[in-house]
Amino acid sequence: MTATQQDLVRLDDIRDAAARISGLVVRTPLLPCPWADELWLKPESLQPIGAFKLRGATNALHRLDLDHRQAGVVTHSSGNHGQALAYAGRALGIPVTVVMPDVSTPLKIEATRGYGAEVVLVPQASRETVAKQFVAERGMTLIPPYDHPDIIAGQGTVGLEIFEDLSNVDVVVVPVGGGGLSSGVATAIKALAPHVAVIGVEPAVAADAAESLAAGVVRIWPEQRMLSTVADGLRTPLSELTLAHLTAHLDAIVTVAEDEILDAVRVLARRGRLIAEPSGAAATAAVLHHRDELPAGRTVAVVSGGNIDPRLAATLFTD
């Protein structure tokens, strides 16, 4: 079903989400970067579960009534949303099951289990189908990673905080996977300051969002093609809901190469003193390697997550 303007999250929804998640979610700072001209970082890697996903998950669980809380929730996730839902579910006393692709990094699988969730590993293409089976068989509530207004509103609190801390910001750069974070951030920023440019970033080898925005419909790329990017959090397609948000609010989308993403991981560690996973470094990669494609001025890059695979980190930080 095609999303309409009436389906879009509003600024008031994001402000309500900010009130709900206060106390369970870290209000991350803006970090100035003296090593890059007019750049600030929004380090969502500093959240307790290492990624921005905690915002949307906490907001969505807070919105459930008692009966749905007792029945529990299920989701499908490559890792960060699953960890976020597990963490928030433990805090709120809500049982959580996470259906994860069997190619997920062991770090994310074990972390999700560590927060008390039941983890079910399945092939990448089966994760949504299996999650829906749990809904049908157990009466659980599905909390998708991004295709839900409560998730988008929660992620939009990143945009609220950016504007509160740097009201004269000119450009906000945010990674695009399924589109929940970019939809929420773009909604908040454009409502508060329509003149600020919001730029999405995705891997060139998994540029389905750019194609979808150009076509005006969701384009689904082959699984093997999406798996070719090291940025595992950016392998998911847009939904009709996130496409509608990005069509309404995103100014442009930039694609980055795999080596540019990995270079940004190194730079963030060595110069920014931040551990970022590849997905989390994508926005910074655009600033470092594609500045000529971005509008000029005071720029905030969202570092969306820091749950890097230790095996990958070992290859990047050996010299």
- Tell me which DSSP letter residue 167 carries: T
Q: Which residues contact 118 (CB under 8 A, 6 or more apart)?
A: 95, 96, 97, 98
* HSE-up of residue 213 (Cα within 13 Å, Cβ side): 23
Q: Indicate which residue of 45, 104, 212, 304 is catalytic.
A: 304
Asked whether 96 and 103 are in contact (CB, 8 A), the reply is: no
Q: Report the alpha-carbon angle 161-163-167, nearest 5.
A: 145
Say how many C-beta atoms besides its own lie within 10 A of residue 282's C-beta: 34
> CB burial class (10 A; 0-12, 13-18, 19+) of residue 140?
buried
Active site residue 108: no
- Integer Cα distance of 156 and 19 in angstroms: 12
Active site residue 53: yes
CA distances from 37 to 224, 291, 313 (A): 37, 10, 27
Q: Residue holding tokens 């996973």? A: 277
Cα-flanking dihedrals φ and ψ of residue 151, to 5°?
-65, -50
Q: Indicate which residue of 42, 53, 108, 190 is catalytic.
A: 53
List, in sequence order, the alpha helices (H) in 5-79. Answer: 11-21, 53-62, 66-71
- Summary count for the chain: helices (H), strands (E): 15, 10
Q: Which residues are catalytic?
A: 53, 304
